[in-house]
Structure 1
Amino acid sequence: MSKHNYRGVIFDWDGTLMNSEARIVAAIQYAAAQNNLPVLSDHESKQIIGLSLQNAVAQLYPTIAEDLTTIQAVSEAYTEHFLHESQVPMTPFPFADELLEALLDEGYKLAVATGKSRRGLDEVLKLTGFGRFFDITRTPIESASKPNPLMLQQIMTHWNWSAEQVVMVGDTTFDMEMAANIGMDRIALHHGVHHPAQLAAFNPVAALEDLGSLRHYLLS
């Protein structure tokens, strides 16, 4: 067990382990244009990264928040473009695989709690080969969108551990708020979407610049 007494680490995916911000933004803008919605700026579009896709669309376009047919059409256009059509590159952040290997070697159990769809997460885990690292993964498809803490509760139930034995790692306020909602420690990463000051409002136990720093924090 580490000096922090954590037994498990739960990671967000996009913006935390995967540098996919540009690809997500491009796909959101494409899906909007395909459905005759205003194409928002990069800054506006990226603020919803971390939410479930349907919640993200509804938040970006409140005028269609009750139009489930249009939200579904935008979501489907986004998913298809993101997974199979986009030429915008995405890669894991530096040290991602080394970090995950080191945590497993130290005896941690690892999980993912993400706003991605189940289909989207499964495809990127296969693409990166990272699926082997995680004991359990959760998406809003079988749970609830952040900041509802249901994903974390499901993971803890699977492990039969309490919130005090687990830490959440993420780059958005949605990650921080989700963990805070059930009294779980949270670590903020600054290489993702939301500004450090936004993350600091949720009192993370650590605020780190990259995954190399996270490895040092958890394993030193």
Structure 2
Amino acid sequence: MSFKVVIFDWDGTLVDSVEHIASSLHQAATELGFPAREREAYRDIIGLGMVEALGALYPGISRDEMTAIREGYGRYFFSRKTTPQNVFDGMADVLTDLRLAGRGCAVATGKSRRGLDSALTSSGLGPHFDLTRCADETRSKPDPKMLVEILEHYEIEPQDAVMIGDTRYDLDMAQRIRMPAIGVEWGVHDRAELSRYNPLAVASTVADLREALGLAR
């Protein structure tokens, strides 16, 4: 599958950060008196923008309450930097080989711009990407606006790109504009959930992903 552009989700796809996000959300909310949610509830909203995620966790939450949780979340989350060791094994090589093959690489994430810019630098992955889009500067997944903006940048059609992600929000977003997608099982949602969105493949390992991208060695 020789796509011109490969678009990656960040958390749970490139970087092993799901548990840190869930813990940071739990700590920020409960210290303000919000009820604790099951661990899976925190995990399930990863991939959404923060406004949408908090609205799903705590229906009816006010704007001021949301701001307070977001501030607490930022303190907890940014207390630990994303490092090259947090990148899933083999994913940096996937990015390197895609670039060597002449393919464009981009990021479409539910992270904030502040969070992504910090992680791009501290993880060492930043130089691989031509373009990145975040939920707080476009619209939250599964709205496909960030994908549309990426396509416009490259001046290509949806079928010329592929979205790679670990959540249903990633695959739903791609499906809405008929962009091919590949799910990965090492993040938030399992194979059964990802398969509901008719991806080209669901990769269980990085080797599976390489094969789906035509990078198998």
Query: What TM-score, normalized to structure 2?
Result: 0.94
Deviation of 1:99 (Å)? 0.8
- Whether 2:179 is the aligned partner of 1:160: answer no
The amino acid of 1:128's aligned partner reads: S
Matched residue type, 1:217: A
Residue number among 74, 77, 93 corresponding to 1:79 in the alignment: 74
Percent identity over the alignment is 39
Determine the structure 1 residue equivalent to 2:32.
Answer: 35
When the two chains are superposed, the root-mean-square deviation of aligned CA atoms in Å is 1.6
1:94-136 deviation line (CA, Å, top 9, x unaligned): 1011110011001110000000000000111111111100000
Is the partner of 2:35 in helix, strand or coil?
A: coil
Q: Kindly tell me the number of residue pairs found equivalent between the two proteins.
A: 214
Matching residue of 1:102:
97
SS in 2 for 1:123: helix
Residue in structure 1 matched with residue 114 of structure 2 by the alignment: 119
- Cα distance in 2 for partners of 1:91, 1:85 equals 11
2:195 to 194, 200, 203: 200
Which of 28, 52, 59 pairs up with 2:56?
Answer: 59
Indicate conservation of the 8 Å contact 1:9/1:168, yes or no: yes
CA deviation after TM superposition for structure 1 residue 198, in Å: 0.8
- Give the match for residue 179 of structure 1: 174
Please tell me the residue identity of whatever aligns with 1:36: G
Measure the CA separation in 1 of the matches of 2:113 and 2:132: 9
Runs of 5+ unmatched residues, structure 1 = none
User: In the TM superposition, what is the alpha-carbon distance from 1:73 to its structure 2 partner?
Assistant: 1.2
Find the partner of 1:12 among 1, 9, 14. 9
Deviation at 1:147, TM superposition (A): 0.2
Residue from 171, 182, 185 that aligns with 1:190 = 185
Amino acid corresponding to residue 11 of structure 2 in structure 1: D
In the alignment, is the contact (CA less than 8 A) between 1:13 and 1:114 conserved in 2?
yes
In structure 2, distance between residues paired with 1:44 and 1:13 = 19
3-state SS, counterpart of residue 35 of structure 1: coil
- Runs of 4+ in structure 1 off by over 4 angstroms are none
Task: Tell me the TM-score normalized by structure 1.
Answer: 0.93
